[in-house]
Amino acid sequence: MNGNIQLYSFLLSMVALVICITIHEFAHAFAAWKAGDETPHAQGRISLNPIDHLDPMGTVMMVVSSISGFGIGWGKPVRINPGNFRSPRWDNFRVSLWGPLSNLITAFVVGIVLRMWGNSMSSPMAMFMLILLQVNIGLALFNLIPIHPLDGSHIMSSLLPYESARKYDYFMARHGMLAFIGLIVLGNRIFPIIIGIPARFLMHAFVGI
């Protein structure tokens, strides 16, 4: 019985991750397109079809992390050309921010639904909505970490003064992937602090638990 519940929870987490990643990547693509870059549109990324956004390695990470009980992953990066932006630094900031922000907005909406109708939902639906809320918050916070290739690195670069941003980008180009791998390897120790604490705060703010 316990095994069935764990399998059911795993499957719900996978579905939630696919939904959240699709929303996240769509938001990046749409924001870039609105900022003047036609690249995402030409590549078919302005879409809510999950197949257009899933990344093979990110999908594997979704499966592995969901089995371990955490549940994180990433989609296929949206290719953009900042040279097409009307205001390159500002638009790069907005495009990068819209990924995590779209997940937080989705989490906020799910939280409202749970507050208003959670008691009248079936147990499976309430469970799925709660997982969807958790995954959206987790994905947003994960992507805000300022390490390449996460959105947080682009947000940080856009906020820093030009010379500091240039040095930061150079450092991330050389060492960012190694830092990212270290982040994943040490995730069980680091994530409860850098993601778990703010996630609990947001959970309480959105749905009161």
Residue 85 scores a pLDDT above 70: yes
Closest CA to 143 of 103, 201, 182, 93: 103
Which residue is catalytic, options 16, 18, 20, 25?
A: 25
pTM over 0.85, yes/no: yes
Residue 3: pLDDT band (50, 70, 90) is low
Give kind and range of the element (H or E) at residue 188. helix 187-191
Residue 203: pLDDT band (50, 70, 90) is very high
What are the domain boundaries of the chain?
2-207
State the amino acid at position 158 in one-letter form: S
Residue 13 scores a pLDDT above 60: yes
Q: Are 20 and 62 in contact (CB under 8 A)?
A: no
So what's the pLDDT on residue 76?
85
Is 38 assigned a catalytic role?
no
Angle at 178 between CA 164 and CA 155, to 5 degrees: 40
Question: What residues have CB less than 8 Å from 133, skipping those under 6 apart?
Answer: 107, 110, 111, 114, 203, 206, 207
Read off the pLDDT of residues 140-165 as tens digits, 9 standing for 90 and up.
999 999 999 899 999 999 999 999 99
